[in-house]
Structure 1
């Protein structure tokens, strides 16, 4: 698959500047890095027919951890990775076929510690200047690739508060029949805020997290899920 570079959209510069200048907007919600094993996800934005859009993946139902959930592509750092940007780009290629030559990294969010997995997760934010792929490269990990318009994400009709069975409540998005919640939703909300895309929404409107997102096949000692913002 080939594609031509697109003209740099007007939103790219301000987003890059905000990433360089921000002051950890979610520090009171997410746990800061704990010096644990490192991992990275790629928050990849591109220009779509209706403006900016973001790449998300639907995790395969056969996975032991978080099957069927909507997330950013990403995973654990490998010894051969140069840094966490390299990790995020490698994982996006392995999961979605995203070629790094078409990606311009804009910055990163501060690492957040995920208790369930024991990882410190860094979200690398990038612009997809040459969208060279958008289909699952590894169906064993990814069931589907979603390119979701930011306009849909910030639409108040699609923003809700997710309610976990444990009682935790946090921001969430309804996307193409799915619910984006937990760590992914918090990271996504942080980027939307930094970019100035967020619009007012009713955070009192709650939805329960569907059972299909709460099935985890890992041993119970590794998969205790309090439902907090770092749930996945």
Structure 2
């Protein structure tokens, strides 16, 4: 059993006050309720966060790295229960070992029309994880925070539509889009971000766009 680190306590204390970028603000009366689990733990290489690589066979967000999560079902008590359930279904993470700290403000994903509540948690008693739902998940990674904040792993990605956003190259994954924006915000608000060069820009690979656009 490990204690919640100070930086995560500070993040949790201000989570509801974190500003939501205009592009992620939910529109009134639209969107399906969903939740993701931002599960931080103490791994063999220091503090880390749990990410999944979505299946390339999926219908939405195919092949994208993401936080475990999904829709809030009618039988769920709310976004926290949904996030824990989805994480267990997708990665095998035992919810009994997870200490939920807080939720962040709701964020809107235009492409999938989801209103997503990020749930911030500490992995009090880590359990073994794997791609527990092969139809939805190709792989599971505990990504060290040190690798995420390494300036050499950070870039800006430009989409064919002309928009650009933060991205990370870690563990053989290109983390971009919604997940990268949330990680970028959380690392900065937690005081973990290291100076990096936001002018280092790459084009979003066409094969990534094609997979992510699949319906």
Q: TM-score, normalised by structure 1?
A: 0.86
Alignment partner, residue 13 of structure 2: 17
**Post-superposition offset of 1:29:** 4.3
**2:21 matches 1:27:** yes
1:128-159 deviation per Cα after TM superposition (whole angstroms, max 9, x unaligned) = 11111221111111100011110110111111
Alignment partner, residue 165 of structure 1: 160
| Secondary structure of 1:11 counterpart | helix
Contact 2:60 2:112 in 1 (8 A): no
Which structure carries more helix by proportion?
Answer: 2
**2:64 matches 1:69:** yes
Deviating above 6 A after TM superposition, structure 1's stretches of 4 or more consecutive aligned residues are none
Change (3 A) 1:117 1:72: same
**Post-superposition offset of 1:207:** 1.3
| Secondary structure of 1:64 counterpart | coil
Aligned partners of 1:27 and 1:143: how far apart in 2? 30
* Total equivalences in the alignment: 212
**Post-superposition offset of 1:180:** 0.8
Contact 1:57 1:146 in 2 (8 A): yes
Match of 1:40 among 21, 35, 42: 35
**Post-superposition offset of 1:177:** 2.1
Structure 1 unaligned spans of 5+: 219-232
| Secondary structure of 2:101 counterpart | strand
Match of 2:138 among 135, 140, 143: 143
**Post-superposition offset of 1:200:** 1.4
